[in-house]
Structure 1
Amino acid sequence: MLSNNPVRRDRIDVEGTMLSYLSAGTSSEIPLLLLHGTFWSRVWQPVLPALGEAARCIALDLPGFGGSGGELNVEQATVPALARTVLQAADALGLEKFDLAGHDIGGGIAQHIAATSGRVRRLVLMNSVMFDSWPVPAVERFRDPQVRAATTVEDMLDARTASTRGSVLRELRDEELADYLSPWRDPARVRSWTAMAAAAEPSYTQDLVPALQDLALPTRLVWGRDDDFQKISFAHRYVELIPGSDLVDVDGKHIPTEDSPHAVAAAIIEHLTR
């Protein structure tokens, strides 16, 4: 599934903060909004050209992440608070009804929006947090304010280097790794990341289960089967408990868009267009 569909980076003002997003594709009846978690919109870049053949795609950077302005504190970085920010961005972009995809903690935000907003047609969860699968210990330790205060840019770069390499089966090229790491050279983005880590709370996804069961929204889980951070066993549990959901597993770890971009794009497109 090769595509020459161009990927653009644009910005939009959301409540006085300039938010950055990657976009691909042209107008479609139902656009696709894509969310990141502890990484940034870069995780969606490998599949955006192909996804843009099927829909207008928008991969948003949350405040204080990627190319976006602003800085998150712990209260602003909770799943419900970030869900409100995403819906404000959707309003600013003119998206009333949309398909929604989420990776990592972005999948937790996506579940919250799907369960509470009435604006999501179809849902995609890629190696997403769910139930009590999160936070992993490397994230949970940032609940300690002293740990957050002591974290330097150099500390973050070291940690994100290890995490990024550990999230992909193949060996990333030097320029790819540098691209993934580029936001963490900014102290404000380091503070935003540690705020998201401190706000990680499994009750946010556990409490959504009854609403998701009642909603039975068409949902596809796309999973790198060798993920060490979000185990595929949680994806199997989701499919067992949540009506309307199914699972496509692919070669890869926590960022399967890097290991299996064609398979990931095909699974998402098939879900959105069937």
Structure 2
Amino acid sequence: MPASDLTLLIETALQAGELARGFVGGALDVQDKPDGAGPVTAADLAVNDMFEDVLRTARPDYGWLSEESTDSADRLTAKRVFVIDPIDGTRSFIEGGKTWSHSMAVVEDGIPVAAVVYLPMLNKVYSASLGNGARINSSPMSVGHQQSPDNANVLATKPSVDPRFWPRGVPGMTRYHRPSLAYRLSLVAEGRFDAMFTFRPSWEWDIAAGALILSEAGARVTDRRGAALKFNNKIPQTDGVLGANPVLHAAFLDKLG
């Protein structure tokens, strides 16, 4: 019997972790992608090739969207689509950090239905399937209960607290940062932080997996204006991301005007 999509993602993520760790401390052949899209390494490309081989062989009828693959309009007519970031947090990977991840989701009719965010250097496997809750290393997890933006510990980049985004005043929150968007979403799902947000256009491969994991942990996850996230768009971006427990999410939206 074929493995479930979630089992397939978990098994493939673990395999990717072994492959990526093999590049740590070695030659990475770092190159800059066109149009300021950031760096890419030999590890990104090797993991992407492995993902394509394993996942597309297992599910040949699924569409494919990956940061490191040439995009094809064929995915737009597929009922289910893999949305993949081989290494989210490539700069952290290059610098020898540990907070990079493999971000993997299956999206059905625009909605993530299975997701894994795996951090090989920290031995963290975040996972979720639609309607079945979220887990870290097989243990259930849920979001925190903070209700006040002024007392919240948030994961966000420095530009996100610029007053121009906050017409009703920047909340007195405490800001932290992690380089991987997928990891930020997962940390809020774990309850270690109260909220995460970014107001820049966000690539689907960075957030599809984490969005499901955070939602299944009990959060509300939307774009920066409160609209539902939809994936497998022709231009694979969303209008930012805001994720927190429902009460705190509403309070942040109110502050954003």
- What is the TM-score normalised by the length of structure 1? 0.29
Structure with more contact order per residue of length (Cα contacts < 8 Å, sep ≥ 6): 1
- What is the TM-score normalised by the length of structure 2? 0.31
Higher helix fraction (1 or 2): 1
